């Protein structure tokens, strides 16, 4: 099911707050529910009625709370049976990335020791679901989806990644990855935490 979220005030905080409420309500019914929240923003066109259009970087103005924002950010996860928590992480990432988003999808090899690993969806299915959802919310965003085999997911070797989007559970990884980046002579990534 697709839930089109009309963000009448055009603000990032409003979008993320209401998206989280929809995702939380969906998860309360069933973690297996397949709700996609797709934000729509007011059109820039002068009109007597409000017309809503797909979310894009043109909506990301400082006046609407899209500060900070980054040209190139990264995030990662398993993304098994893409659920509301994953979608909130992806939506948050898309709302901070102006041009490019690197999404690391955990390899089967890295997940081999995970409890119930035999129940996990194949990598190609998880990757396709991530691309499908992010493309539905930000068609103008350049996606770089990569298989990851370690905690850094390649960000320790990419100098121009500006920020890492994390959940409370993955927050400790940022410090470790930034240490790896420093060892390579790269600037530390900034923190973006999901609501």
Per-residue pLDDT of the chain (195 residues; tens, 9 = 90+): 899 999 999 999 999 999 999 999 988 887 677 899 999 998 876 555 678 999 999 999 999 999 999 999 999 998 998 999 999 999 999 999 999 999 999 987 766 666 666 678 999 999 999 999 999 999 999 999 999 999 899 999 999 999 999 988 889 999 999 999 999 999 999 999 998
Q: How far is CA 83 from the centre of its chain?
A: 12
Task: Indicate the pTM of the whole model.
Answer: 0.91
The answer to whether the beta carbons of residues 95 and 163 sit under 8 Å apart is: no
* CB-facing half-sphere around the CA of 147: CA atoms within 13 A: 10
123-137 and 84-96 are packed helices; what angle lies between their axes, rounded to 10 degrees?
50
């Amino acid at each position: 099911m697709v839930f089109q979220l009309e963000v009448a005030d055009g603000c990032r905080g409003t979008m993320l707050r209401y998206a989280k409420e929809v995702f939380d309500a969906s998860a309360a019914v069933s973690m297996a529910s397949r709700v996609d929240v797709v934000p729509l923003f007011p059109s820039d066109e002068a009109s007597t009625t409000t017309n809503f259009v797909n979310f894009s970087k043109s909506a990301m103005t400082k006046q609407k709370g899209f500060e900070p924002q980054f040209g190139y950010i990264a995030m990662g996860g398993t993304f098994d049976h893409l659920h509301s928590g994953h979608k909130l992480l992806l939506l948050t990432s898309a709302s901070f990335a102006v041009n490019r988003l690197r999404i690391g999808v955990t390899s089967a090899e890295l997940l081999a020791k995970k409890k119930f690993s035999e129940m996990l969806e194949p990598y190609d299915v998880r990757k396709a679901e991530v691309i499908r959802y992010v493309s539905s919310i930000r068609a103008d965003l350049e996606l770089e989806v990569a298989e990851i085999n370690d905690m850094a997911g390649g960000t320790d070797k990419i100098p121009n990644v500006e920020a890492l989007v994390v959940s409370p559970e993955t927050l400790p990884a940022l410090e470790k990855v930034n240490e790896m980046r420093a060892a390579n002579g790269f600037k530390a990534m900034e923190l973006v935490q999901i609501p």
